[in-house]
Amino acid sequence: MEAMGYLVIAFFFGLAGGIVGRIKGSSFFIWFLISGLIPVFGLLAAVFYRWDKEELRRQCPGCGQVLKLHDAVCMRCGEELEFPDVAIASEAAMRQRPA
């Protein structure tokens, strides 16, 4: 009966991971498999997947480097950054835009 219980848990984790993956514009099936095979970590991976790429970005006024919106100091030139008036769309949003 233990294997059965594990399968049920794996199934629900797979379902949750698949839904999260789908919401993020990835494949439901792939994340269903990942989350089902490695239940807890698969789901976490789905939750954090592309997290970075969906963050808004901004440009450093000093050197033009594109940084994360929440960065306080430019990693390239050391410029201290105010919170910007304009943010640059996230990488993910840019990709979804029709060319």
Applying CB under 5 A, which residues contact Zn ion?
60, 62-63, 65, 74, 76-77, 79
The three-point CA angle 24-30-33 to 5° equals 125
Shortest CB 81 distance to Zn ion, Å: 8
Instruction: Please give the Cα distance from 97 to 76 (Å, whole number).
Output: 28
CA-closest candidate to residue 64, choices 88, 96, 37: 88
Shortest CB 86 distance to Zn ion, Å: 16
Shortest CB 65 distance to Zn ion, Å: 5
Shortest CB 55 distance to Zn ion, Å: 18
Q: Which of 70, 95 has the CB closer to Zn ion?
A: 70
Instruction: Please give the Cα distance from 17 to 7 (Å, whole number).
Output: 15
Q: Which of 46, 60 has the CB closer to Zn ion?
A: 60
Q: Which of 26, 65 has the CB closer to Zn ion?
A: 65
Residue with tokens 């835009």: 97
